[in-house]
Structure 1
């Protein structure tokens, strides 16, 4: 898979969200540029043009975007204060001009004044949370961006076509080394993980940067492997727990090596660990991770997803091997 990159990846940085919110206020008051408007004259397009656009190739994409925004608005409406703040943090890139215009449109079509007031209060509350998030985390977000750029530097070439996986295997080694150093220095905190997740979400939405998406996924995998490898459960007194030791081997290994390790390590293949034993220690490790990490944190989600990835791969290998023995 190849990805042409003219510069280093364009990372999210904090920007002002005040203008979109003011746009909401002007829409809601029925004025834009001190004159009444509708959704049609706001766009500056005649009705006929709208009808033509409705059957264009962009119509389906536009509809899906609207559905996504509506889903987010509904979630925000139903959330309590704590849940709302978490939703804002997880979807910070979604609060753009399109979001505020859609929220204003829904406010305008309310059938009762009470419903309209609820939407207005929701808009003010979301704006307040976004504003605090942007201002309070600006320095952390910028720092996280620099850390992420440093980690990706070995696999990103500004002057040449960037490929994934990298043509030079040494690039991955350097990437791992940089990540390990940054983690040891305490830079891979929630702000960093939030930055990586925001970039990954944006890359998936863009759909035209598979190389960048793969790089960011690799960063999260390397992070999870590094953190989970810090604590070992393979020894119980003088006894070596082989299933735990096997799991730790999988955790430390690159994803590309999981298949071979599972085939060589499971009894259904060439090894000594039964699928049931591996499943049991995986379940226990996930439970331990949930207990030892902050609920709802990026760290908790990334670590448990990594373990569930190993779990899913092992189940897949078992199905394949069982099918081959029948």
Structure 2
């Protein structure tokens, strides 16, 4: 069997990232050691600063090595099922530093049996990681297909992307596609990740305002669809006007918010005060944070949509009251 080396690591994993494993407490105090150097008069402040930096770098390197060693030991003693689970849970830890450390431990083995154990462990981990990466790539391709299917009604391959689409029916078809895909469970975290990646790239390019608006519309339609599934407008036989009004806004297209806010709030023709609307938006955001996974794209898209409604209401209130934005 070939000996383990850094080149054995999968190419897609040769990058640097922090390990999700919990960091250990450092052994010793780099700051205290450096302060002890002050008794030497010839040392300048800059020299002491450099010594501190070197000490901190060494401490960080030591901590990372301890983390990697802990992960390697955990993998060595795991059965096949536990090994798969451990690799999945620590997928970001398999970076260049991990493979260098594993190669070093392999090279320092005193017995051939231990060396073979490490080599077999490396091959097993690589195999699991490769499968995970392959599945991830497949999911990305699937998410891309879903997004293309949603955008198909509003994209004319022969012309430059424009927004809004010239044909109103195209937008309606796009909305129906979002509804259908959401019902089928196609608009998952992978899909939202793909939309956000495309949106970020379009903004960076700076020359595709039509595509940016189109992708933002996709996220708005998604948020509207998901948030509309739950209603909080009734408490027994009582109708909560502010909640009911918020639900009307959630379901409405973004370009209709201005008119709805003017017609529904107390400074216009309605009976919902800005304070009451802000309160129910805050409560809906709190409910969303509880019911979605922390840090997920879904959580971000839904909360940003609700915050967008509040921002629009605040802008209109300021304009109505004659205050500068």
TM-score by length of 1: 0.63
Q: How far apart are residue 175 of structure 1 and its match?
A: 0.3
Larger Rg, first or second structure (1 or 2)? 2
Equivalent residue number for residue 34 of structure 1: none
Equivalent residue number for residue 142 of structure 1: 141
Q: How far apart are residue 135 of structure 1 and its match?
A: 2.2
Counterparts in 2 of 1:204 and 1:81: CA distance versus 1, 3 Å: farther
Counterparts in 2 of 1:111 and 1:204: CA distance versus 1, 3 Å: farther
Superposition pairs for residues 42-61 of structure 1, below 5 Å? none
Equivalent residue number for residue 293 of structure 2: 294
Q: Distance in 2 between matches of 1:215 and 1:187?
A: 19
Q: How far apart are residue 236 of structure 1 and its match?
A: 1.1
3-state SS, counterpart of residue 233 of structure 1:
coil
Summarize deviations over 1:41-98 as a string: whole Å, max 9, x none. Answer: xxxxxxxxxxxxxxxxxxxxxxxxxxxxxxxx8xx55x7449xxxxxxxxxxxxxxxx
Q: Distance in 1 between matches of 2:196 and 2:140?
A: 12
Q: CA RMSD in A?
A: 3.0
Q: Distance in 2 between matches of 1:215 and 1:304?
A: 19
Q: Distance in 2 between matches of 1:118 and 1:145?
A: 40
Counterparts in 2 of 1:130 and 1:221: CA distance versus 1, 3 Å: farther
Equivalent residue number for residue 266 of structure 1: 265
Equivalent residue number for residue 283 of structure 1: 282
Equivalent residue number for residue 220 of structure 1: 219
Counterparts in 2 of 1:156 and 1:187: CA distance versus 1, 3 Å: same
Superposition pairs for residues 1-326 of structure 1, below 5 Å? 76=17, 80-81=20-21, 114=58, 123-124=95-96, 134-323=133-322
Q: How far apart are residue 197 of structure 1 and its match?
A: 1.1
Q: Distance in 2 between matches of 1:227 and 1:20?
A: 35
Equivalent residue number for residue 106 of structure 1: none
Q: Distance in 2 between matches of 1:269 and 1:130?
A: 59
Q: Distance in 1 between matches of 2:269 and 2:138?
A: 52
TM-score by length of 2: 0.63
Gaps of 5+ in 1: 1-16, 25-72, 83-109
Residue 163 of structure 2 contacts residue 214 of structure 2 at CA under 8 Å; is this kept in 1? Answer: yes
Counterparts in 2 of 1:159 and 1:118: CA distance versus 1, 3 Å: farther
